[in-house]
Structure 1
Amino acid sequence: MDLIRHLRCFVAVAEELHFGRAAQRLDMAQPPLSQRIQRLERELGVRLFERSSRQVTITKGGTLLLDEARRLLDQSEALMATARRIQDGHSGLLRAALPPDITGETVAGALAGFQERQSGVELELHELSTAEQLARLASHDLDVGLIRHPSDVSGLELGPVLRHELGVLLPHDAPVARRETVALSALTGYDLVLFPRAQAPAVHDDLLTTCARHGYTPTAVRYGQGPSFTRGLLLSWRAITFSTRDAHHARDPDLTWRPLSGAPLALRHSAAWSRGRGDAAVRAFADTVTDALARTAAPGPDLTSGPLHLRPAAEYWI
């Protein structure tokens, strides 16, 4: 008996509580699925489900075995992911990526933490936008990355989604810079310096939509990434940008950072890897970069009691 295949059937039926839906999820016919469940029950000597014409319910014995079955499936997937990396010639090498907007402190923390957890694995780290990471994950040219949300995460597994407040960075002599907090609607008349849309189209559009919903439509959108280039745009044009609270801003006498009223804008990041390819090295990097991002990001207001709607992973304010 192929234990892993039969356990996969068991978990699918346990989660769907419907043989038809489970068979569709597994891309197989219902009769073979029923036969595999029956054979697994005979091999284990435990009745897993109670069946009737109207419903399927999991037994107490099935419930007790379900977590163990999931654990074995996870271990099997990690084993196969490692085997695929060996077949692809990447044994001992982890290809990972971080986006350009991550601070140097986060990068350093991720590198140090990963070496502590996986000292025998060589880390090949790239600086890639979310769009570039998604493309490379899809082609299996990247093992794990840190992406921004919202984005298309079909076919991916995600770590926790960390949410970090965005404020407004503007010239210190701008009238609104004298306020303790700034409403988005108060930025009317200012240009907006933003990252190029191609880097993360969904994030770009979501940000502009949120601005418009809160009463701010930029006079013009100007594109910049590097801090020096962005600083020049802010000081040369009547322009603002959105950024996290950063100690570097405090040392610039020409710029002022202010929180946005109600914290309507935020960066959302999570580690991501292709479904079924999360071996030990991938998960170690995902855990390490999540810890580093949570530890090095400047904290925003305590809004953990508010509703969080991002799916499919948990989201945390940091």
Structure 2
Amino acid sequence: MDLIRHLRYFVAVAEHRHFGRAAASLGVTQPPVSQGLRRLERHLGLQLVDRTSVGATLTEAGAALLPRARLIVDDSTRLLADAAQLFGAAAGLRWGAIPELDDEILSRCTVALRAAMTQSDAPLTTVTKGTTALLDDLRRGILDIAVVAHPSVLADLEAGPIIAVNRNVVVPAAHRIANTKSPRAQMLSDLTLATTPREDNPPAHDLLMDGLRRHGLDASLQSASTHRDVSAMVATGTCFGLATPTATVHTGTSHLRMLVEEVALRVRIVTAPGRDLGDLVHALDRELLRNRA
């Protein structure tokens, strides 16, 4: 059990007296907060809050433990901040991005970060991983800053505004939709969607699939994380995929501008707690906004 995270949920519920407001203050949805608090109660063998139709109130045990819980949460935040500063001084800057961003966007962001770094000769390390893995690395102090997909569970982390990045639909060049003046979602029904696996970030994956279903497209899936993976699968003639705007159009594929709102890649810039990375966040934000939907 992640004791610190669950204590943070408890403190938020105690302060807001409401699960929904507590979740909003943490930047997460309500179910993880409710489930996490129940896990904490089972772990402690105590009921910490009374759940009512209008919110939550502290039990006697919850009121007794709340001051200590606050101290632990505050101390953990300070520890992470101190560790991040020590790690940053020794290791330069480590940043991560989701694989859905194409190589050109990734390169532009890396150049922008290098230009914004105060120490021009400090190491700059770039990694690409799924959203869940990037957020875990941020919490563990392995990364300083990351671009992740939205929505996602951001408890304990600091996040900027949502940026919607354009994406095109990648289809086989020989498929009938590639040469249609008015392409429609249902014309993709004979193709499999090549996309990142759901476990990379379930909320964003489900949001994409719901958007496609609203247009009558309930696609079967194949796992493809990078644009290279997507293009290779699409070139077989049996799949379609999604690509950010500066992605290469490979042989055997076509990029179509359709389903603009549904397939836009919504991202956020997330930083480790306690880090002052304003200039770096601004540099990434500026590059990502060049490709916004």
- SS of 1:142 mapped into structure 2: coil
| Paired residues for 1:102-141 under 5 Å | 102-120=101-119, 121-141=122-142
Distance in 2, matches of 1:107 and 1:206, equals: 24
Q: Distance in 2 between matches of 1:24 and 1:151?
A: 23
Equivalent position of 2:282 in the other structure: 287
Q: Give, in whole Å, the separation in 2 of the partners of 1:124 and 1:262.
A: 32
- Counterparts of 1:82-121 in structure 2, within 5 Å, are 83-86=82-85, 88-91=86-89, 93-120=92-119, 121=122
The count of residues paired between Structure 1 and Structure 2 equals 218
CA distance in 2, matches of 1:170, 1:267: 18
> Is the 8 Å Cα contact of residues 171 and 234 (structure 1) preserved in structure 2?
yes
Using the TM superposition, give the Cα deviation of residue 201 of structure 1 relative to its aligned residue in structure 2, in angstroms. 1.9
Q: 1:258 to 1:181 in 2, by over 3 A?
A: farther
Determine whether 1:175 maps to 2:166.
Answer: no
Q: Identity of aligned pairs, percent? A: 18
Q: Determine helix, strand or coil for the equivalent of 2:148.
A: strand
Residue 126 (structure 1) shift: 2.0
State the SS of the aligned residue for 2:124.
strand
Q: What TM-score comes out, normalization by structure 2 length?
A: 0.65
Structure-1 residue corresponding to 2:43: none
Q: Is 1:273 matched with 2:271?
A: yes
Whether the aligned pair in 2 keeps the contact of 1:133 and 1:145 (CA below 8 Å) is yes
Q: Which runs of 5+ in 1 are unaligned?
A: 1-20, 26-78, 298-316
Give how far 1:241 is off.
1.1
Q: Paired residue for 2:15?
A: 24
Q: 1:108 to 1:237 in 2, by over 3 A?
A: closer
Instruction: Return 5+ residue gaps in structure 2 as ranges.
Output: 1-11, 17-77
Write out aligned runs for 1:174-213 (5 A). 174-213=175-214
CA–CA distance in structure 2, aligned partners of residues 134 and 205 of structure 1: 18
Give 1 or 2 for the bigger CA radius of gyration: 1
- With structure 1 as the length reference, what TM-score do the two structures score? 0.60
SS at match of 1:91: helix
Paired with 1:224 and 1:175, the residues of 2 have a C-alpha distance of: 23
Q: Provide the aligned C-alpha RMSD in A.
A: 2.9
Match runs of 1:1-318 below 5 Å: 24=15, 83-86=82-85, 88-91=86-89, 93-120=92-119, 121-218=122-219, 220-246=220-246, 248-249=248-249, 252-261=250-259, 263-275=261-273, 277-279=274-276, 282-295=277-290, 297=291, 317-318=292-293
Q: Deviations over 1:25-62 (max 9, x none)?
A: 6xxxxxxxxxxxxxxxxxxxxxxxxxxxxxxxxxxxxx
